[in-house]
Amino acid sequence: MDIANHTVVVTGGASGLGAAVVRRMVKAGSRVAIFDVQKEKGEALAVDLGAKGIFCLTDVTNAGSVQNSLARVKENFGNISFLVNAAGTGWVERTVSKTGPHSLETFEQILRLNLIGTFNVASQTAWTMSENHPDEQGERGVIVNVSSTAAFDGQIGQTAYAASKGAVAAMTLPMARDLAGMGIRVVTIAPGIFNTPLLAMLSQEKILALNNSVPFPKRTGDPEEFALLVEQIFQNPYLNGEVIRLDGGLRMAPK
């Protein structure tokens, strides 16, 4: 689909990969709504974008919060054509440690944000997209969900994170099939190690080791490279129901 003069919703858009997508979409001529719980960062980014951007304080795990934010977007910008589900977080905790079993509460929280939040926003936005007039190829919208290479190469301590991201990857094809009749495409990106606040949680020693483990190029990914792939997905009408690894050929070691 043509990006210019359309509206894009980006969850987790106040920082990291989401913020890179927000800036690239505005540069491409679209209007962008930032859905995030980081109020100060989200509002500051929206101010930088001017009339092309708005910030909506949004809890992606709450159906009412998402519904209210989508209504605000339609009121300000009209119909929504694109969604990028970048909201999420990581966690490191072994299934069993010296102190006992993995916290069930934490496991549920990670799945609630990374998986349920993704589905909540995707399903509600798809309903809004279904009201769009189709373009010349019959498209009404595109949804890009964000998984992780941990979905396939989960490391020690990543049980909760890998489970949540693996489920996002697994629902790509059935969601694409569900929405095909409406002319809505669904694609998932599974990024490797990127220079984001999530990576900053690791030690410099760990980051250096990860860099060296990437076949080529031997470095962390640039969020702008992630945003570039999002743009290419939006523009390629034959790309649907696919999970794309964006990782420089990285395959994660056990630890």
CA 204 to CA 151: how far, in whole Å?
Answer: 24
User: What are the angstrom distances between the C-alpha of 128 and each of 4, 19, 112, 149?
Assistant: 19, 23, 23, 30
Residue-wise pLDDT for 109-145, tens only, equals 999 999 999 999 999 999 999 999 999 999 999 999 9
Class of domain 7-246: alpha beta
Average pLDDT across the chain, whole number: 95
Share of the chain above pLDDT 90, in %: 87
Could you tell me which residue, 130 or 255, shows the higher pLDDT?
Answer: 130
Determine how many CB atoms are found less than 10 A away from the CB of residue 112: 14
Question: Taking a C-beta distance cutoff of 8 angstroms, is the pair 147, 188 a contact?
Answer: yes
CA 154 to CA 114: how far, in whole Å?
Answer: 15
Domain residue limits, the chain: 7-246
Question: Taking a C-beta distance cutoff of 8 angstroms, is the pair 240, 174 a contact?
Answer: no
Q: Of 35, 77, 161, 234, which one is the catalytic site residue?
A: 161
User: What are the angstrom distances between the C-alpha of 237 and each of 30, 39, 90, 226, 234?
Assistant: 18, 34, 32, 19, 7
Question: Taking a C-beta distance cutoff of 8 angstroms, is the pair 109, 162 a contact?
Answer: no
* Rounded-to-5 percentages of helix, strand, coil across the chain: 45, 20, 35
- Is-catalytic flag, 161? yes
Question: Taking a C-beta distance cutoff of 8 angstroms, is the pair 140, 237 a contact?
Answer: no
Tell whether pTM > 0.75.
Answer: yes
Q: Where are the beta strands (DSSP E) in the chain?
A: 7-11, 31-36, 53-57, 82-85, 96-97, 100-101, 141-146, 184-191, 242-246
pLDDT score, position 122: 98
**What's the mean pLDDT in 22-51?**
97
Residue-wise pLDDT for 50-73, tens only, equals 999 999 999 999 999 999 999 999
Phi, psi of 174 (to 5 degrees): -60, -35
Residue-wise pLDDT for 167-201, tens only, equals 999 999 999 999 999 999 999 999 998 988 777 77
